Structure 1
Amino acid sequence: MNEICVIGGSRYFGRRLVENLRDRGERVTVLNRGSSAPPEGVTHLRADRGDEEALRLALAGRTFDVVVDQVCYTPRHAAVARRVFEGRTRRYVMTSTVEVYADLGGGGPYREDALDLPDDEDPADDSLSYGEGKRRAEAVLGRAGGFAFAAVRTAHVLGGADFTGRLGHYVRRMSAGLPIGVCADPRPASFIEEREIAAFLAWTALAGFTGPVNACSHGTLDVRQLCAAIGEPVYTRGESPYSFERDYTMDNGRATALGFTFSNVGDWLPGVVKEARACV
């Protein structure tokens, strides 16, 4: 049995991750600001992960085999975590994103080694895009000397209960007969279902590899293919959540070689669409 701390983990696939680890028999501690109660059977600590003093107070006297950080968005977050958790855990897993590949030229599918990580922690956090914040956070934690580090670069996550409302956007508009905005040449993206990414993160927490790893289901979708799985869309020129002008596809070969078996997008998409309809 392992002592595992999940930072965040209050909703969506983070909550599923906590339940997954708990149901495997691990001792799970959830650390967040306390905006919602964690699942039953886990320890709950309250602190703002960006407040170093509060974080140290909440964790006083505690050590962990693994930390899974669901809400590390900036190099400042990462630097705080590095200082607080060095010597407090043997393994640190950060949930990163396919968005780290956003500024690469050319097309995917991108492998992990396609991306270079910076050597510095600047510029200031408030000047960073989401993907660049994650890229620099990976770099900061990767330089830690007190624990082994892995970064899970997640594909776009689809699930019926997605609090971001991205899939719901399409379901609601198509149900109302409203047009869907698409760019001139929508590009494909990799996706993963919320249960699968939770299972992958739990698997990564208990594994031994280090470094970045891509997590995505087999197969890709562009916005038109996604909409076709929902109904009969009417398109207009414009923007919508999954209408991408750049390629967001990833190669999951490293994770597959390490032993994780991914599903195919077509196997779970109809079920996710059904769940999304029930939630809107």
Structure 2
Amino acid sequence: MKVLFIGGTGLISEAVSKLAISRGIDLYLFNRGNRDGFVPEGAHVIIGDIRNPQDAAAALKNEQFDVVVDWIAFTPEHVSVDIELFRGKTKQYIFISSASAYQKPPKHYIITEDATPLENKYWQYSRDKIACEQLLLDEQAATGFPVTIVRPSFTYGDTMIPAALNSWQHPWSLIARIRAGRPVIVHGDGSSLWTMTHNTDFAKGFVGLLGREEAIGEAYHITSDEVLTWNQIYEAIGAAAGAEPKLVHISTPFLISHDPELEGGLLGDKSVTSVFDNSKIKGLVPDFDAALSFAEGIKRTVAWFEAHPERCTEDQAWNDQMDRIIEAHAAGFKK
């Protein structure tokens, strides 16, 4: 099977790329060639820029693929380019959407692909993903464009310390803060339910979708079945760091009042209880099993960072912001 990944070197797609190659898939990566260290052995690289439609068309003009996966399409404009590029040139186009596209807050805490509406008034990122899905389904209805939609939730791996509040560029900041005994913010009372999925588990479900005619016109989320409270998540991170975290619970509205950019990621996603029913992906990919617990997965992540000390950097601006919010929150209590 000849498969093209647009991108293919990110946190989630890297694990999928490695598994796909191990299963004998002839994998091509289309990107600008800026992350050679992340290209798995055995993958072919086509150099080009998907954000330059003319450049992409020239680089891909003589290629046909059984499957095309775009890991870096975020807006309808991005998807429109893909439709023009790959119409008649692939048997399956997989769009990477997001589980944050599901209704927030949902009418029922158990999320299913076909019963939970797509609606997110808090996060433009999610609304753009919804618009992409609709554009692709409209194109399929009109022309038969062979689309499959995949909605990952919070998926992590070696290079991410996953938390609702952490520095994106310097994720080790949270571990350093815990080890230093500094307080760590948890949104709300920490009792809402959430799901963390290791990228190697996600990969098992995803690779099982490649080339599957039954998946055309369908949407799937792929997550762990392990459900944890945010308190349990932070406690597991602390255990992996070897130190008990000093949790400070602060309401989501208070956090957003200090940093409005948190609204999408919190009200539009992580502060809302979400439990995913994975029956649909398991029905098509029976060997999909998210076997790695978060407690074990985060230990692996911390160990990876410790083996790569150059990645154990801290974000002073983020630390200062956390301290300011904690101080302002503490000042609001009666003495």
TM range (shorter): 0.7 to 0.9
Shift of 1:62: 0.5
Give the Cα–Cα distance (whole angstroms) in 1 for the partners of residues 211 and 277 of structure 2: 22
Give the Cα–Cα distance (whole angstroms) in 1 for the partners of residues 110 and 287 of structure 2: 18
Is 2:73 aligned against 1:35? no
Is 2:225 aligned against 1:218? yes
Is the 2:101–2:118 contact (alpha carbons within 8 Å) kept by the matching residues of 1?
no
After superposition, residues 76-91 of structure 1 pair within 5 angstroms as 76-91=77-92
Is the 2:87–2:145 contact (alpha carbons within 8 Å) kept by the matching residues of 1?
yes
Give the Cα–Cα distance (whole angstroms) in 2 for the partners of residues 199 and 8 of structure 1: 19
- State the match for 1:152 in structure 2: 150
Residues 105 and 189 of structure 1, relative CA distance in 2, 3 Å threshold: same
Give the Cα–Cα distance (whole angstroms) in 2 for the partners of residues 49 and 115 of structure 1: 32
Matched residue type, 2:147: F
Is 2:300 aligned against 1:275? yes
Is 2:6 aligned against 1:4? no
Shift of 1:54: 1.5
Give the Cα–Cα distance (whole angstroms) in 1 for the partners of residues 203 and 285 of structure 2: 16
Residues 262 and 221 of structure 1, relative CA distance in 2, 3 Å threshold: farther
After superposition, residues 154-193 of structure 1 pair within 5 angstroms as 154-162=152-160, 164=168, 168-186=172-190, 187-193=192-198
Residues 156 and 117 of structure 1, relative CA distance in 2, 3 Å threshold: closer
Per-residue displacement from partner, 1:237-258 (whole Å, max 9, x unpaired)? Answer: 3459889321233221211222
Residues 54 and 248 of structure 1, relative CA distance in 2, 3 Å threshold: farther
Is the 2:69–2:93 contact (alpha carbons within 8 Å) kept by the matching residues of 1?
yes
Shift of 1:102: 4.9
Residues 117 and 270 of structure 1, relative CA distance in 2, 3 Å threshold: closer
- State the match for 1:203 in structure 2: 208
- State the match for 1:124 in structure 2: none
- State the match for 2:235 in structure 1: 228
Give the Cα–Cα distance (whole angstroms) in 2 for the partners of residues 259 and 36 of structure 1: 31
Matched residue type, 1:31: F
- State the match for 1:74 in structure 2: 75
- State the match for 1:122 in structure 2: none
Give the Cα–Cα distance (whole angstroms) in 1 for the partners of residues 150 and 14 of structure 2: 17
Is the 2:98–2:152 contact (alpha carbons within 8 Å) kept by the matching residues of 1?
yes
- State the match for 2:258 in structure 1: none
Give the Cα–Cα distance (whole angstroms) in 1 for the partners of residues 113 and 169 of structure 2: 28
Unpaired segments of 5 or more residues in structure 1? 119-126
- State the match for 2:282 in structure 1: 256
Tell me the matched-pair count: 270
Is 2:244 aligned against 1:245? no
Matched residue type, 2:274: Y
Per-residue displacement from partner, 1:28-54 (whole Å, max 9, x unpaired)? Answer: 110112211222322211222222111
After superposition, residues 120-139 of structure 1 pair within 5 angstroms as 129-139=124-134
Range moving further from structure 2, 5-14 or 106-115: 106-115
Instruction: Tell me the C-alpha RMSD between the 2 structures.
Output: 2.6
Range moving further from structure 2, 149-158 or 41-50: 41-50
* TM-score for the superposition, normalised by structure 2: 0.73
Is the 2:152–2:222 contact (alpha carbons within 8 Å) kept by the matching residues of 1?
yes
Give the Cα–Cα distance (whole angstroms) in 1 for the partners of residues 270 and 40 of structure 2: 35
Is the 2:209–2:285 contact (alpha carbons within 8 Å) kept by the matching residues of 1?
no
Larger % of helix: which? Answer: 2
* TM-score for the superposition, normalised by structure 1: 0.86
Shift of 1:117: 6.1
Per-residue displacement from partner, 1:155-203 (whole Å, max 9, x unpaired)? Answer: 2112232284697454332122121212224421222111011222211
Unpaired segments of 5 or more residues in structure 2? 162-167, 256-261, 306-311, 313-335
Residues 178 and 106 of structure 1, relative CA distance in 2, 3 Å threshold: farther
Give the Cα–Cα distance (whole angstroms) in 2 for the partners of residues 268 and 117 of structure 1: 28
Per-residue displacement from partner, 1:211-259 (whole Å, max 9, x unpaired)? Answer: 1111111121221011121332212134598893212332212112223
Is the 2:7–2:70 contact (alpha carbons within 8 Å) kept by the matching residues of 1?
yes
Shift of 1:262: 4.5
Q: Provide the secondary structure at the position in 1 that maps to 2:209.
A: helix
Give the Cα–Cα distance (whole angstroms) in 1 for the partners of residues 300 and 68 of structure 2: 31
Is the 1:182–1:236 contact (alpha carbons within 8 Å) kept by the matching residues of 2?
yes
Give the Cα–Cα distance (whole angstroms) in 2 for the partners of residues 107 and 115 of structure 1: 8
